[in-house]
Amino acid sequence: MFEKIAGMLGLENKQQDKKEDIEFKENIIKFVVDEFDKRQKERLPLELQWRLNIAFYDGNQNQTINDSTKNIEEIKKLYWWQEAESFNQIAPIVETRLAKLGRLRPIPKVRPATDSKDDISSSKISSKLLESTYYDQKMKEKQLSANVWSELTGTSIYKAMWNPQKGRLIGAMPRAMEGEGEPEKIHEGDVETIIISPFEIYPDSIWNENIADCKSLIHAKAYHKKDVKLNWGVDVEGKEVDVFTVKSDIAGGGLGYSGGGSKVGSQKKKDSVIVYEYWELPTDKHPQGRLIICTDDDLLFYGELPYICGEKDTYGFPFKAQKSILKPGCFYGKSIIERIIPLQRRYNSLKNRKAEYLNRASIGQIMCEEGSTDLDYLESDGAAPGAIIEYKRGFNPPRYMEFHSLPSTFEQEEQNVLQDFIRISGVSEISRDSSAPVGANSGVALQLLQENDETRLSLSASYITESNIEVGKFWLRMYKQFANAPRILRSVGKDNDVEVAEWESSTITSDDLYVEAHSQTVESTAQRRQMVFDLVNMGLFTDPTTGQLTKEGQIKIFEMIELGNWESFTEESELHQNRAERENKLMSQMQMMQPKNYDDDLLHIQKHNMFRLGAGYEELLQQMPQLEQLFEMHIQLHFQSMQMKASPMAQQTEGENNEI
C-alpha cells in the first residue's frame, strides 16, 4: 500500500536504489528494532497495568503484578477451602460508561476560511464530504471500538491512511506481462481509518503528553506472511510470534472454586512476522521525514513521509490518541478501572469471607474427643442425615461447634465499599442498574444524580469529540493532497432531494472544524427533548413580530429532538424552502424566475431577503449591479401573488376548487 502511495507522490523507494547495499539495509533494520526494544522496556509497567485492567474487567480478579518477574500472576489460595470468587462490579460500571458515550454523534463540520461566497460554498461542500466519509468509514462502529480500548487501558489510537484501492472505479490497466491475469483495476482512492490498541503504538518517550510532542513513533503489529506479500510485495519467512491475547477461563464458584473470567497472556501465531512502521518527522538530515517499514530480517519500505497532514501543510503523523482520563505529562491516558481495582479487591474479600462463614454455619464443624470415635467414618458419613455415630464408652459424644452471628461490621463495610464505587467511578445506581439509591425518593434528587453522572462523563466525551475533529482534519488534508481530479459528491436531504456537487482538492480551503453542541452531549433523547420543550415554552423559537412559531422553527425543533420529518409534518415547508434556495442560485446567474401560484410567497420572500443579507450577495453585486433589480422584480411578483390570493374573488375561486 505504501509503495503505491509513494509512487503517486513521486517518492523514491530507497530499498530499490540500494538493493545491493546489504549493509545499509542491515543498519536500518537494526536501528528500528533497537528503538523498538528500548521503547518496549520503557513502556512495560504501563502495559502490565493495562493487562491487569482487562483481567479485572473480564472477571479474572485474582491477579496481581509481580514486580520481580514483570508479569501478571494469579494470587494463590492459602487453603483449599478458601473462597476466591470474583463479584464483578467493574464490568457494569464500564458498560454503563460505554452506553452513555455511545450516544455521541461527533460528526465534524467546517467553518469557512472567510465570509466570501466561495469560501462559504466550499465549507458547505467540505462539511458534506466529512459527513459522507464518516458514514462510509462506519465510524460509529469504529468509535465503539475506540471507546472500549480507552475505557479499558485509558488510550485508543486512530490511524488515518490513503488507500489507492478504495473509491470509485475509474479504469483498468493491463498487466506488465501477458498472461498475468485480469487487468489491474484503478480506483479514485479514498481515506481509510483504523482503530489501534495502545499495545501497538510506541512513542519516542512515554513522557511526551501528546503525539504532537513526539519526534518519532513506531507502530508494531503482527502480520501473516501472506499479508506482507500482499501489502508490500516482499516474500518473508514466517515464524511463531508471541501475540497478546485474552484467554477464556473456566467459570466456577462456591466452596474451593475460583471466580472464572479471562486470563491475559500471549499465544503463538504461526507463519507470521512483526512489522515495524517507524514514522519520523522532518529533520535537517531528512527534510521530508522518514517512513521505514521492516521486519526483524527484511526491509519492506524506506522513503519519505507519505502524508502532508500536519498544521500549515507540513508533514505529520496520521495518528490521534483518544484518552479516557488525562494523565498529566504522559503519552497514555488513565483508565477508570485503575482507580477502582483496590475497591474491587476489598469487595471480593468481604463477600468471600461472608461466604466462608456461611459455609461453616451451614455445613458445620464437628468436635469430638481424641480417640472417642472413628475419624475416617465421621468425616465421610458421620454428618449425613440418619447416620449412626458410634463413640467409645466414657467419652462425650461428638457435637457441632456453635458459631456466633456474623458481625454487623461486615454489612456496614460492604455498603461503604459500594458507595466508594459510586464516588470514584461517577456511575450511580440509577445509571448502572436502573434503581433508585437508598434515601433518594424525589424526582429532583434522581435528576441531580443523573446529571452528576453525565458531568463526570463530560470530560471523556470531550476527548472523543476532539479526536474526531483531528481525524476529520486528516481526511480533509489527505483529500487535498491526493484528490487531484474532479470528483462527484452526492448527498440526500431530508425531503429526499438529491444534491450533486463537483469538487476537487482546490475546493477544500479550510480545515477549521467543529462539532455542534447537541452532537457532543451524552444526554438521553428524553432529556434533550425536555430541554427543547422548555425553550419552546420560553418563546425562543417564535417570531417576535407575530408571536407565532415559525415554520423554520418547527423544522429546527424536529431536528433537535431527532424526529426528522415525523409524519411528514414539515415536508411542505422544506420543499418550499428548497425551491426558494434553488431560485436564489438561478437568479444569481441572472435567470429571471416566475413565482408559481402554489408557492408559499411569504416564506419565499423571507428566503430571498436572507440571501440578499449575506456577504456573498454583496460580492455578486459588485460584479453584476443589475442583480439587485432582478431580485426586486421577483419579490414584487411574490407580493402581487399574495394580494391576488388574499382578494375575495381568489378566495371564492379557491373555495370552489376545494368543493370540486
pLDDT tens digits for range 355-400: 888 888 877 788 888 888 888 888 787 778 778 888 888 888 888 8
Is residue 320 situated within a structural domain?
A: yes
Written as one letter, the residue type at 608 is H
Of 85, 82, 79, 92, nearest in space to 61 by CA: 85
- What pLDDT digit, counting tens, does each position of 1-58 carry? 554 444 444 445 555 554 457 788 999 999 999 999 999 999 999 999 999 999 999 9
- 97 pLDDT exceeds 80? yes
**Who contacts 616 (Cβ-Cβ below 8 Å, separation ≥6)?**
116, 117, 118, 120, 121
Q: How many domains does the chain have?
A: 2
Residue pair 378/400 in contact (Cβ under 8 Å)? The answer is no
Of 566, 596, 556, 568, nearest in space to 580 by CA: 596
- 594 pLDDT exceeds 80? yes
- Region 516-538 average pLDDT: 66
pLDDT computed for residue 451 by the predictor: 61
Is residue 369 situated within a structural domain?
A: no
Confidence of residue 260 (pLDDT cuts 50, 70, 90): very low
Residue pair 98/144 in contact (Cβ under 8 Å)? The answer is yes
C-alpha cell at 176: 506488465
Task: Determine the structural domain holding residue 109 and report its residue range.
Answer: 2-338
- Rounded to 5 degrees, φ, ψ at 95 are -65, -35
pLDDT computed for residue 493 by the predictor: 52
C-alpha cell at 622: 459588485
SS3 246: strand
Q: Angle CA(554)–CA(559)–CA(564) in degrees, nearest 5?
A: 95
Length of the chain: 660
Q: Which alpha helices (DSSP H) does 364-407 contain, by range?
A: 375-377
Instruction: Look up residue 595 and give its DSSP letter.
Output: P
Give the number of other CB atoms < 10 A from CB of residue 325: 17
Is residue 353 situated within a structural domain?
A: no
Is residue 484 situated within a structural domain?
A: no
Confidence of residue 410 (pLDDT cuts 50, 70, 90): confident
Query: How far apart (Å, rounded) are the C-alpha atoms in residues 210 and 192?
Result: 22
Q: Which helix (H) or strand (E) segment is 388 a member of?
A: none
- 252 pLDDT exceeds 60? no
Quick one: 501 exposed, middle or buried, by C-beta within 10 A (0-12, 13-18, 19+)? middle
- Region 278-301 average pLDDT: 94
* Farthest-apart Cα atoms in the chain, separation: 127
In the chain, what percentage of residues exceed pLDDT 70? 77
- Region 284-306 average pLDDT: 94
Query: How far apart (Å, rounded) are the C-alpha atoms in residues 572 and 16?
Result: 64
Is residue 549 situated within a structural domain?
A: yes
- Region 230-247 average pLDDT: 78
Residue pair 321/157 in contact (Cβ under 8 Å)? The answer is yes
Written as one letter, the residue type at 403 is F
Highest mean pLDDT among 129-133, 264-268, 356-360: 129-133
> From the CA atom positions of the chain, what is the Rg in Å?
34
Confidence of residue 571 (pLDDT cuts 50, 70, 90): low
* Structure-model confidence comparison of residues 571 and 368, the more confident one: 368
Q: Angle CA(626)–CA(629)–CA(631) in degrees, nearest 5?
A: 110
Confidence of residue 263 (pLDDT cuts 50, 70, 90): very low
- What pLDDT digit, counting tens, does each position of 50-75 carry? 999 999 999 999 999 998 888 889 88
Instruction: Look up residue 401 and give its DSSP letter.
Output: P
Sign of CA dihedral 478, 482, 485, 490: negative
Of 326, 367, 372, nearest in space to 154 by CA: 326
- Rounded to 5 degrees, φ, ψ at 650 are -65, -40
End-to-end Cα separation, the chain, in angstroms: 68
Between 115-119, 208-212, 629-633, the lowest mean confidence (pLDDT) is in 115-119
Of 338, 355, 376, the position where a domain reaches its end is 338
pLDDT computed for residue 494 by the predictor: 47
Q: Which alpha helices (DSSP H) does 405-508 contain, by range?
A: 408-425, 429-432, 443-482
Average pLDDT score, the chain: 81
Is residue 241 situated within a structural domain?
A: yes
Query: How far apart (Å, rounded) are the C-alpha atoms in residues 584 and 634?
Result: 10
pLDDT computed for residue 259 by the predictor: 46
Q: What pTM, to 2 d.p., does this model score?
A: 0.75
Query: How far apart (Å, rounded) are the C-alpha atoms in residues 620 and 116?
Result: 10
Of 401, 461, 375, nearest in space to 426 by CA: 461
Is residue 496 situated within a structural domain?
A: no
C-alpha cell at 417: 465499599
pLDDT computed for residue 552 by the predictor: 63
- 133 pLDDT exceeds 90? yes
Written as one letter, the residue type at 606 is Q
Of 338, 356, 375, the position where a domain reaches its end is 338
C-alpha cell at 144: 465503539
- 558 pLDDT exceeds 60? yes
Of 338, 354, 372, the position where a domain reaches its end is 338
- Site of grid cell 484528490: 483
pLDDT computed for residue 526 by the predictor: 61
The distance from CA 571 to its chain's CA centroid, rounded to whole angstroms, is 33
- Rounded to 5 degrees, φ, ψ at 290 are -140, 145
Is residue 425 situated within a structural domain?
A: no
Of 202, 204, 206, 165, nearest in space to 186 by CA: 165
Residue pair 515/106 in contact (Cβ under 8 Å)? The answer is yes
Query: How far apart (Å, rounded) are the C-alpha atoms in residues 57 and 642?
Result: 67
